[in-house]
Amino acid sequence: MSTTTEHTTAISAWAADVPLALHRMSMPYAQDPIQTAVALVTAGIGDPYVLYERAGVVHVAAGASAVLRASATHLTAHTADGAWTIPTAGRPLDRIAEALQALAQAQQDGRRAYGWATFELAHQLHGRDAGEDTLVHLFLPCVEVALSPGRATVRATDADWQRKAADLLTTAPSHHAPAPGTRPDSDMTAADPSHYREAVAEIIEDIRAGRLDKAVLSRSVPLGHIPVDLPATYLAGRAANTPARSFLLDLGGWQAAGFSPETVVEVGPDGRVATQPLAGTRALGPDTGENERLRRELLADPKEVHEHAISVRLACREIAEVCRPDSVVVEEFMEVKERGSVQHLASMVSGKLRDDLGPWDALGALFPAVTATGVPKRQALAALSRYEDGPRGLYGGAVITADTDGALDAALVLRTIFHRGSTTWLRAGAGIMGGSTPEREFEETREKLRSVAPYIRRPGE
């Protein structure tokens, strides 16, 4: 038997073992969708879990009936009945696409996978060493709850999971968003132990020397071993933010709560591909007059406009790689979007996916987001490796939902609090250009950190 045949057989065996999700029901509920979703999570609907908010609907997926984990070298597929490992041949997203296609053939009524991709997938996609850690982790849930205002739809692999979700929707105590706190955000974000400003100065010199055009340099703000209540932090932060997507997850060793300002890529079942680059930033606060002044300043700032324009240009080139000729268009060019504690220049780039390609090809073409990396991406990745302190992990990566009908949604992981092992931290970056100054770029990271830092909640708060 050939190696290719062995791989196909393994993927088909995995897909055949994934339990069907045939138990479905719809029921009313009385609470706010986000508060209800957090109540389901904190009441113990199941582990692992992903809460994902998109387009006014909050999805809670819990319990793993099947898992896909891809590194740079291997894809491992699990069910309760077995595990299969195949080499990726340097193309982990292709192997994931094959597995979900096999699942689509095995289960005609469709399934949705939930999970994440770390930033280090970018290194693998651009011919750099991505290490040995998991780059993409997806799971097929035992139960999914979709919360629209006033009505919940439940889908489960068996009657027990369905009953558990229905009982929790009826009995779980509501979780109201705590009032914004007075966390000492100035103390938390003002220090520069990583010498961020010095690194910004180094990158400015690289740009002026012609080595690259832009790099999105980030810095970490460690919270140490202080316990943090992530669901409460998510509730408080979500009440104060206006994200494109939001999420709360505990999956594959990562816990995170975030308010994504943009998507890396959106692929519809009809093949429409879209990406939403945000680049160019000013603060957003309670003073409407000051906000308007900063908005006008943002739209007139040559550095910010140039940064946005080259980001949109690269997004157009990347989306054109996977879309039909002449289908790529720029929508909503250079509008201003409000995202929590900041306002951004924003555009939407869209196109129609080629018939011979799928959603994971689109993700591969656009990942990582240009607004979390730089221009050109390969040179920006090299600069980030030189000047940042270690791997980014989920920061700058994506939280993903992927349907077997070809739909895929990938939220850019920014404005997020992270927990792994015994450590909790925040992270934020700024787009460095030749006209940047270290002080302004450092202040921009502080403006972005204020989307999360004031809303951190400790247990019992």
> What amino acid positions are annotated as catalytic residues?
262
The span from the CA of 370 to the CA of 278, in Å, is 9
CB 395 within 8 A of CB 119: yes
The span from the CA of 255 to the CA of 234, in Å, is 12
CB 240 within 8 A of CB 180: yes
Among candidate residues 237, 261, 293, the one with its CA nearest the CA of residue 417? 237
Mention every residue, 6+ apart, whose C-beta is less than 8 A from residue 103.
15, 18, 111, 140, 404
Mention every residue, 6+ apart, whose C-beta is less than 8 A from residue 335.
345, 346, 347
Tell whether the torsion through CA atoms of 306, 241, 369 and 316 is positive or negative.
negative
The span from the CA of 59 to the CA of 39, in Å, is 13
The span from the CA of 352 to the CA of 166, in Å, is 39
DSSP 234-265: HHHHHHH---SEEEEEEETTEEEEEEESSEEE
For 277, list phi and psi in degrees, rounded to 5: -70, 130
For 15, list phi and psi in degrees, rounded to 5: -60, -40
Which 3 state secondary structure label does DSSP give 77? strand
Question: Is residue 290 within a helix (H) or strand (E), and if so which, with residue range?
Answer: helix 288-300
